[in-house]
Structure 1
Amino acid sequence: MTQLNVAAERHLLGTKGMSAEDITSILDRAAYWEQYPVKLANHLQGRFVANMFFENSTRTRFSFEVAEKRLGAEVLNFAAAVSSVQKGESIYDTVKTLESMGIDAGVIRMKPNGLLAELAEKVKVPLINAGDGSNEHPTQALLDLYTMRKHFGHLRGLSVSIVGDIQHSRVARSNLWALQTMGAKVSFCAPPSMQAPELAAYAPYITMDEAIKADVVMMLRVQLERHEENVFKSTADYREAYGLTAARESAMAPHAIIMHPAPVNRDVEIDDALVECERSKIFAQMSHGVPIRMAVLERALS
């Protein structure tokens, strides 16, 4: 088997096309790492991992870095100002430069859609997608699935509503593909201007009243300024129409949970009082990011 073929098997570019077995093995391994008795392991000692962030990130980058250091890897951080990387070639050149210096894996976040798959075909080291444009964010979806499975004990048969800016959301896409593969039922809820019509064939668009009846209500961060034809005059208008308010939360099923990939716009897509309420899993999701990314890094470098 060639070096490129070996790398291809260990890339994590998206959840689309991943098998249920592969997803389950990552979730199971994350459970192992979550209860691991010591903070530092030497599983990836002597391996070099480069974090290449061509787009700003706080939680994802730190989560990967903690995961890498917990596994004993040597960590290289490369952060490019968005303005300094205008062309796909310069991203390619950066990855090839780090590869030529001897990195063993790369974690990469970038703005362009579709470029990551091209890059992965041209490099000999495994690449992990830390978010590419509005395409995918696989480790976020995996930590979301992990959170759901840990709470409910299973994923098959769960109903999950994803509410907000579906059009721009890589989190919505990665969750859609992974949840459907694992047998969950996904629905979207979004204003017409924030819908992604190409996804309607995979998950129905429902009303907010219907969305809050799900087992899992996942709110997405909303940036009204991203929409030229915005029907909402203010964030208060958006909250009134599509926010998870205290009144809507009181209509949720007793067993249902609230999720959000963060960062959270408090009192816009979700009321401030609900961010840390009993049924909220928002900070639990963040804590699960480290064991999930440990499992993903281990898979890439095993």
Structure 2
Amino acid sequence: MSGLNDLVNAPVNQFNSAGELTHLLTLEGLPKEQILHILDTAQQFVSVTDPAREVKKVPLLRGKSVFNLFFENSTRTRTTFEIAAKRLSADVINLDISTSSTAKGESLLDTIDNLVAMQADIFVVRHSISRAPIQIAQHIPAHVHVINAGDGSHQHPTQGLLDMYTMRHFKKDFSSLKVAIVGDILHSRVAKSNICALRTLGCKDIRAIGPESLLPSDLDMLGIKIFHSMEEGLKGVDVVMTLRIQKERMEAGQVPEGDEFFKQYGLTPTRLALAKSDAIVMHPGPMNRGVEIDSAVADGTQSVILNQVTFGIAVRMAVMSIVAGN
């Protein structure tokens, strides 16, 4: 069984010689001050995402080219990155991987070299192979920036940041938060990024709930409380985050499926009632209703799932503007 710290032991340099954030590849080791700077910058961009605003653009990335390279399927991440880049006035190129030269056998780095030659400024990369964005960042010229939009089971840093933004927006103080993460934590890059950020921001009560086969082996060494019972793990928490079972990253039969998983680990109104009365419900998407979450909870008054998506635009605007030096 792989652990939470697998694939993060090799050094990852996200800063330039002046100490400025030039790539966002992982939340592992990212200083608290840097995370807060991103969240504070995102707060300034929230007004730009207001539907009532007549002009929804700012000129911070005017003349810059942002290349979205998604080697895995995506709805929320890819679309919100595109919206964020356009609202920063960047030129956005969405590379269709299925019709690109990678489908003809061209290597990842050869593809990157050609795109750099086309004067790319920022690469937003999602890849099924862990550390692929890190490999790209180590390969490209210093003036080009890489943002990790999810790599294998490694990290999903902008999702982690938008989740932190959501928690701070609704709950304010991380030091007193009790956060439960439920489901397939072992294969979830979102869970790994959230755990990194929560620990950095001072959250002292992080709970992992799920079957043993879906929990990393090193959670206890990180101070994460482990529960195999929803009823025990959800007591008195402020935040409940449910996760999709990532069947594409596991062997068949590794966990109970469908109705059986829902019976044991599905977030229902009855189970949610064990949390604090003002607890918020989060999900990074895509949701499988009736598997990890009940529709009554997903659409209920405590759900902030759609708020996460909206905040994601502002957070990704913040990340792109910061790595580009604005």
**TM-score band (shorter)?**
over 0.9
CA separation of 1:231/1:24 partners in 2, compared to 1, >3 Å: closer, same or farther?
closer
Which residue in 2 is equivalent to 1:204?
Answer: 225
Q: Structure 1 or 2: larger helix share?
A: 1
The worse-fitting range, judged by mean Cα deviation, of 52-61 and 215-224 is: 215-224
1:193 pairs with one of 213, 216, 234: 213
**Could you say what the CA RMSD is over the residues aligned between the two structures, in angstroms?**
2.4
Secondary structure at the counterpart of residue 28 of structure 1: helix
One-letter identity of the residue aligned with 1:25: H
Structure 1 residue 244 and structure 2 residue 238: aligned? no
1:65-110 alpha-carbon deviations (Å, 9 max, x no partner) = 0000001000111131399858997121112211121111111010
TM-score normalised by structure 1 residue count: 0.92
TM-score in terms of structure 2 length: 0.86
Q: 2:179 aligns with which of 154, 160, 173?
A: 160
Distance in 2 separating the partners of 1:273 and 1:157: 28
More displaced 10-residue stretch of structure 1: 178-187 or 140-149: 178-187
AA in 1 matched with 2:315? I
The whole-number CA distance in structure 2 between the counterparts of 1:14 and 1:137 is: 7
In the other structure, the counterpart of 1:57 is 74
Aligned partners of 2:216 and 2:323: how far apart in 1?
31
The reply to whether residue 31 of structure 1 matches residue 31 of structure 2 is no
**Residue correspondence of structure 1 range 71-220 to structure 2 within 5 A:** 71-81=88-98, 90-124=107-141, 125-184=144-203, 185-202=205-222, 203-206=224-227, 207-213=229-235, 214-220=237-243
**CA separation of 1:8/1:35 partners in 2, compared to 1, >3 Å: closer, same or farther?**
closer
Q: Which amino acid aligns with 1:265?
A: N
The C-alpha deviation readout for 1:174-210, integer Å capped at 9, x for no partner, is 0000110000132211111212213342123223123
The Cα offsets for residues 18-44 of structure 1, whole Å up to 9 and x where unpaired, read as 111000011011111002354111111
| Range with greater deviation from structure 2 (271-280 or 198-207) | 198-207
Separation in structure 2 between the aligned mates of residue 57 and residue 39 of structure 1, nearest angstrom: 24
Give the SS at the match of 1:156: helix
Per-residue CA deviation, residues 209-244 of structure 1 (Å, 9 max, x unaligned), is: 232121111000124573434342x41110110110
CA distance in 2, matches of 1:281, 1:293: 18
Is contact 1:67–1:293 with CA below 8 Å preserved after alignment? yes
Q: CA deviation at 1:119?
A: 2.0
Whether contact under 8 Å (1:26, 1:295) holds in the other structure is yes
Counting aligned pairs with the same residue, the percent is 42
- Tell me: CA distance 1:4–1:24, structure 2 relative to 1, closer, same or farther (3 Å): closer
Q: Residue 181 of structure 2 aligns to a residue in which SS?
A: strand
8 Å contact kept, 2:244–2:287: yes
Q: Which amino acid aligns with 1:94?
A: T
Q: How far apart are residue 6 of structure 1 and its match?
A: 7.1
| Count of residues in correspondence between the two structures | 299
SS in 2 for 1:10: coil
Q: Distance in 2 between matches of 1:121 and 1:8?
A: 16
Which blocks of at least 5 consecutive residues in structure 1 are unaligned?
A: none
Task: Name the residue aligned to 1:20.
Answer: 32
Give the gaps of 5 or more residues in structure 2. 1-14
